[in-house]
Each structure stands twice: as C-alpha cells, then as structure tokens.
C-alpha cells in the first residue's frame, strides 16, 4: 500500500471520529504514545518499540488527515532530497 492510499484508508475509517474528538485530544493521545515509545526504547524491548512506533505513526496520520495534509512529498523533499542533519547537535 502506498503512502497516500494509507492516509486515505485511515481517513475513511477514523476521520469523522477524529473531527469529533478534536485536535487537542489527538495531540494528547500522540504525546501519550510518544511517552510509551520512550519507555519501550529505554527498556530496549523490540516488540514494544514496534507496537509504539505503529501507534505514533497512526496518530501522526490521524492529525495529518484532520488538517487535510498529505506530507509524503514534504517528507521526501526534506529528508531524502535534502539533509537537515547538519543542524542536529551530534558529536
């Protein structure tokens, strides 16, 4: 399944519910999922990391759909065509 198609399928199933829930609710769920991901990363539990990455990605897609944003092109442009790593504070 391609990126845009995945966005569409998630929108078909969840967008109406997400509109009722609202952006702040979706943001709070995203933050909660990021917290769960950080715990899984801290513990190094690969299966839990996979589960939480899935949840984080799903919430990002839900928020994108709420605002009608397909960020595939921007993602490619920013991270594959471009390389913002020079701005990262890494040793």
Q: What is the DSSP string of 54-68?
A: HHHHHHHHHHHHHTT
Look at residue 12 and tell me whether its pLDDT is greater than 90: yes
What's residue 36's pLDDT?
98
Contact 74, 84 (CB under 8 A): no
Average pLDDT over residues 8-34: 98
**Cα(38)–Cα(36) distance, rounded to whole angstroms?**
5
Residue-level pLDDT at 30: 98
- Its pTM stands at 0.91
Q: Distance between CA atoms of 61 and 8, rounded to whole angstroms? A: 10
Q: What is the pLDDT of residues 30-86, one digit of tens each?
A: 999 999 999 999 999 999 999 999 999 999 999 999 999 999 999 999 999 999 988
In angstroms, the CA 14 to CA 8 distance is 10
**For the chain, which residues make up each domain, given as ranges?**
3-84
CATH 1.10.10.920 fits 3-84, yes or no: no
């Amino acid at each position: 399944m391609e990126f845009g198609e995945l966005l569409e399928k998630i929108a078909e199933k969840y967008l109406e519910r997400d509109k009722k829930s609202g952006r702040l609710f979706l943001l709070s769920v995203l933050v909660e999922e990021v917290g769960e991901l950080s715990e899984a990363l801290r513990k190094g539990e690969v299966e839990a990391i996979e589960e939480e990455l899935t949840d984080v990605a799903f919430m990002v897609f839900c928020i994108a759909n709420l605002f009608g944003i397909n960020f595939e092109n921007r993602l490619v442009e920013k991270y594959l065509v471009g390389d913002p790593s020079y701005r990262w504070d890494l040793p």
